[in-house]
């Protein structure tokens, strides 16, 4: 019998034994791995056999034919990671692979969060959705104009367009309130309450979307979400009654999740908000989910709010939160943005090409000192929102000198060097040829709180925002940070607990019941990694978006392979060419 091998990098072999396709016992066998199956149960050593996109055997596999084999010796074999909070709605049209989520073990991403979607929308009115997206989510208008082939109007038509696109990973999506409002109301969506006719049209569109497979309905009440012309995004103009009526209409279908970006405020205001959400969940019969972070301006507030979540769930609501595995950080550099880009002197300086900026900083001592002097002044400009670079608090403004924590603050570095923090920032930037990264925590500043939030039974660890804030934050590595920092370095969470948080828990809450566990008969979405080495790499700035727009990009170490529906999509961070990803539709479209 003729045996031949095609070259694949280390640990990957494709063997053909004179048999092909259906004649093979398996399409893929993962050998010699340590199984962490997503349930939270103890790990064990086993093989995994895959056929026709499904796991067909977990156990010792010897002598049976297979198209492909992965030798997972020394590696963890887990379910593919599920990310319930992304904004990949636009990016998937120009990025078939799904970066950077795919580099961190994610095999399924839920998009359309916070009311921001590309549908429903007529192509002639695309400016409305661009206006909602480009500042609030830092998605380049020029990239969207060049990268999207607009061939939909309704949300079901958008899903059909996504369904047809070649995809490396799986996607599911909400219908978003901001797009819905502008589709029905046009320019009025940014200024007016909806009238009765508007409401009927919006409710009908949401029901249509749910029947076609949307995961639910999303909105934003967040004060961080502004348009490029400094107005509230369209969903924030809608009244609480408008949102309630749309969710109730969704409830009439018997399906759909309500997701929202939460308002902020003092404890009394937020307690009222949480109780009203509990009532809405009970009356509509629909689950509700939203982001939940610890914030230094409201210390300890989250604990009282989680007591309300517990009470409401015991009383018949279903509410779970979305939490993060670290601080939410603005990532800053001279290659992207600094806090001072719109300040005097800096404004003109930052218009220069980057190499010229570096040259001037090295050769023009007077200019350099002017920049430092301006940066040392108190800020008196307009309000900064969201993940935008803000005036630094130097005690909590950090130099990312390596990926692992802790990072030194600029106040600490300045004291050691005997200069001002602004001067220290400029000096470090020069030393690293303007490629130095700095970070400003925006939320979850207290990491003890962050750990408690992750371990709370009403929370789900998923909040990457992948596809959004592409030059501002780098949270696609949420999962690999969890595994490296909290599991391996801090030993605050077991490996089994950590894997469950980002597989079974997320898959179950979003209703992906054929994913999130390694079980015979389930879909073969599999992530294979080295528990001793898994870790995000340092980010880099690339200009690989349509129109040459820039973004932050981040790979991970220790990732051996990512398998989607039984096909190897990534091996050692390299794309194999396989694009087996699917659009995962909600339960009414699956029935």
SS (H, E, C) 61-98: CCCCCEEEEEECCCCEEEECEEECCECCCCHHHCCCCC
At 350, list the tokens.
Answer: 């930052």
Distance CA(574)–CA(567), nearest Å, equals 14
Residue carrying structure tokens 């199984």: 35
Q: How confident is the model at residue 380 (pLDDT cuts 50, 70, 90)?
A: confident
Distance CA(197)–CA(105), nearest Å, equals 45
Distance CA(129)–CA(252), nearest Å, equals 27
Q: Which candidate, 542, 563, 586, places its Cα nearest to that of 53?
A: 563
What was the pLDDT predicted at 19? Answer: 46
Inter-axis angle of helices 421-431 and 354-363, nearest 10: 120
Q: How confident is the model at residue 8 (pLDDT cuts 50, 70, 90)?
A: very low
What was the pLDDT predicted at 230? Answer: 87
Q: How confident is the model at residue 304 (pLDDT cuts 50, 70, 90)?
A: very high
Distance CA(481)–CA(254), nearest Å, equals 37
The answer to whether the CB of 102 falls within 8 A of the CB of 88 is no
Q: How confident is the model at residue 5 (pLDDT cuts 50, 70, 90)?
A: very low
Q: How far separated are the first and last CA of the chain, in Å rounded?
A: 46
Q: What is the dihedral of CA 363, 367, 371, 376, to 10 degrees?
A: 100
**Is residue 3 predicted with pLDDT exceeding 80?**
no
DSSP structural state of residue 174: P
What was the pLDDT predicted at 12? Answer: 47
CA dihedral sign of residues 104, 110, 111, 115: negative
**Distance (Å) of CA 7 to CA 21, 28, 431:** 20, 16, 42
Least confident of 40-44, 115-119, 223-227, 360-364: 223-227
At residue 535, φ and ψ (nearest 5 deg) are -175, 140
In the chain, how long is the greatest CA-to-CA distance?
Answer: 78
What was the pLDDT predicted at 473? Answer: 87
63-67, 140-144, 187-191 — which one is most confidently predicted on average? 187-191
């Amino acid at each position: 019998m003729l045996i031949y091998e095609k070259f694949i990098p280390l640990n990957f072999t494709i063997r053909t034994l004179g048999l092909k396709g259906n004649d093979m016992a398996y399409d893929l066998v993962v050998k010699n791995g340590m199984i962490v199956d997503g349930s939270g149960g103890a790990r064990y050593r086993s093989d995994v056999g895959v056929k026709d996109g499904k796991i067909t055997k977990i156990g010792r596999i010897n002598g049976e034919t297979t198209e492909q084999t992965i030798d997972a010796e020394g590696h963890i074999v887990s379910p593919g990671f599920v990310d319930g909070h992304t904004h990949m709605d636009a990016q998937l049209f120009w990025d078939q692979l799904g970066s950077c989520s795919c580099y961190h073990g994610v095999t399924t991403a839920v998009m359309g969060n916070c009311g921001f979607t590309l549908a429903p929308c007529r192509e002639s009115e695309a400016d409305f959705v661009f206006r909602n997206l480009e500042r609030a989510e830092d998605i380049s208008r020029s990239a969207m104009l060049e990268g999207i082939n607009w061939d939909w109007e309704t949300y079901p038509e958008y899903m059909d367009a996504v369904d047809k696109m070649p995809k490396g990973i799986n996607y599911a999506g909400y219908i978003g309130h901001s797009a819905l409002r502008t589709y029905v109301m046009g320019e009025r969506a940014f200024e007016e309450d909806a009238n009765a006719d508007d409401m009927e049209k919006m409710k009908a569109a949401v029901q249509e979307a749910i029947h076609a497979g949307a995961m639910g309905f999303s909105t934003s009440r967040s004060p961080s979400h502004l348009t490029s012309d400094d107005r509230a995004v369209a969903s924030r103009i809608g009244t609480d009654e408008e949102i309630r009526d749309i969710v109730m209409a969704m409830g009439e279908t018997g399906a759909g999740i309500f997701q929202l970006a939460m308002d902020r405020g003092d404890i009394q205001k937020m307690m009222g908000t949480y109780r009203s959400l509990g009532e809405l969940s009970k009356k509509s019969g629909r689950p509700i989910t939203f982001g939940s972070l610890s914030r230094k301006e409201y210390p300890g507030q989250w604990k009282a709010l989680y007591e309300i979540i517990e009470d409401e769930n015991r009383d018949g609501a279903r509410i779970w939160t979305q939490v993060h595995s670290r601080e939410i950080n603005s990532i800053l550099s001279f290659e992207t943005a600094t806090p001072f880009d719109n300040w005097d002197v800096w404004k003109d300086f930052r218009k220069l090409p980057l190499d010229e900026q570096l040259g001037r900083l090295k050769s023009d001592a007077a200019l350099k000192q002017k920049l430092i002097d301006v940066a040392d002044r108190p800020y008196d400009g307009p309000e900064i929102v969201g993940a935008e670079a803000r005036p630094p608090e130097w005690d909590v403004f950090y130099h990312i000198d390596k990926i692992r924590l802790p990072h030194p603050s600029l106040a600490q570095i300045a004291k050691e060097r005997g200069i001002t923090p602004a001067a220290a920032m400029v000096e470090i930037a020069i030393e690293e040829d303007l490629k130095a990264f700095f970070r400003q925590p925006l939320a979850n500043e207290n990491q003890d709180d962050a750990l408690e939030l992750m371990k709370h039974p009403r929370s789900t660890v998923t909040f990457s925002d992948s596809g959004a804030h592409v030059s501002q934050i780098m949270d696609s590595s949420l999962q690999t940070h969890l595994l490296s920092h909290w599991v391996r370095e801090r030993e605050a969470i077991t490996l089994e607990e950590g894997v469950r948080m980002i597989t079974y828990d997320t898959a179950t809450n979003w209703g992906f019941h054929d994913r999130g566990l390694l079980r015979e008969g389930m879909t073969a979405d599999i992530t294979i990694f080295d528990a001793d080495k898994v870790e995000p790499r340092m980010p880099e700035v690339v200009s690989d978006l349509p129109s040459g727009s820039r973004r932050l990009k981040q790979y991970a170490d220790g990732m051996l392979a990512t398998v989607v529906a039984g096909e190897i999509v990534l091996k050692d961070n390299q794309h194999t060419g396989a694009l087996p990803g699917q659009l995962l539709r909600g339960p009414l479209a699956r029935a």
